[in-house]
């Protein structure tokens, strides 16, 4: 019985020998997802676009550095900027339920753009959803 496939447990067991960072395609995979995400914000979400500076290059860079470490790759954000303290850093912005939903919607579209599916998709959806809801502050 134990050897049967488990079709209802789609999340792979990520760990030191099986990193989500590698599953997403390493550095270029992380970079690609962040670019797709901010392109979607630019094109799809007035609410989120208006929260960001008109030149979003620095925002893209920060999210790329953060996700690299968060997915098990190089800790680029921490090396450069210290502890992320994400909730605190989002306090100046009105992260309402609507903003959480918009963030997750744009990230979902970005994952579609990058054709992220299967177990990795399931894993990322759960983690993004958890973190985005933790950021809500209004």
**Given the rule CB under 6 A, which residues bind ligand HEM?**
48, 51-53, 58-59, 62-63, 66, 81, 84, 86, 89-90, 93, 95, 99-100, 103, 128, 131-132, 135
To the nearest whole angstrom, how small is the minimum distance from the Cβ of residue 96 to ligand HEM?
Answer: 8
**Residue 137 backbone phi and psi in degrees, to 5:** -140, 10
Both tokens of 116, joined, read: 């992220």
Task: Tokens for 124, please give them.
Answer: 């990322």
Tokens (6 digits) for 95: 């992260």
Give min distance, CB of 24 to ligand HEM, in A.
13
Q: Kindly state the DSSP code that residue 90 receives in the 8-state scheme.
A: T
Distance CA 84, CA 81 (A): 7
* CB-based contacts of 10, cutoff 8 Å, min separation 6: 118, 119, 122
Least gap, CB of 79 to ligand HEM (angstroms): 13
Q: Which is nearer to ligand HEM, 6 or 83 (CB)?
A: 83
Identity of the residue, 5 or 82, whose beta carbon is nearer to ligand HEM in the bound complex: 82
Residues 6+ apart with CB under 8 A from 45: 102, 105, 106
Nearest approach, Cβ of 130 to ligand HEM (angstroms)?
Answer: 9
Q: Which is nearer to ligand HEM, 18 or 97 (CB)?
A: 97
Nearer to ligand HEM, 17 or 45 (CB): 45
């Amino acid at each position: 019985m134990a050897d049967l496939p488990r079709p209802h447990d789609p999340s792979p067991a990520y760990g030191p020998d099986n990193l989500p960072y590698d599953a997403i395609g390493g550095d270029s995979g992380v970079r690609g997802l962040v670019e797709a995400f901010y392109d979607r914000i630019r094109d799809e979400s007035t609410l989120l676009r208006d929260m960001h500076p008109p030149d979003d290059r620095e925002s893209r860079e920060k999210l790329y550095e953060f996700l690299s470490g968060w997915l098990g790759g190089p800790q680029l954000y921490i090396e450069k900027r210290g502890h992320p303290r994400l909730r605190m850093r989002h306090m100046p912005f009105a992260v309402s339920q609507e903003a959480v939903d918009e963030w997750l919607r744009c990230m979902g579209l970005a994952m579609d753009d990058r054709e992220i599916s299967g177990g990795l998709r399931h894993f990322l959806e759960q983690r993004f959803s958890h973190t985005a809801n933790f950021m809500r502050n209004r």
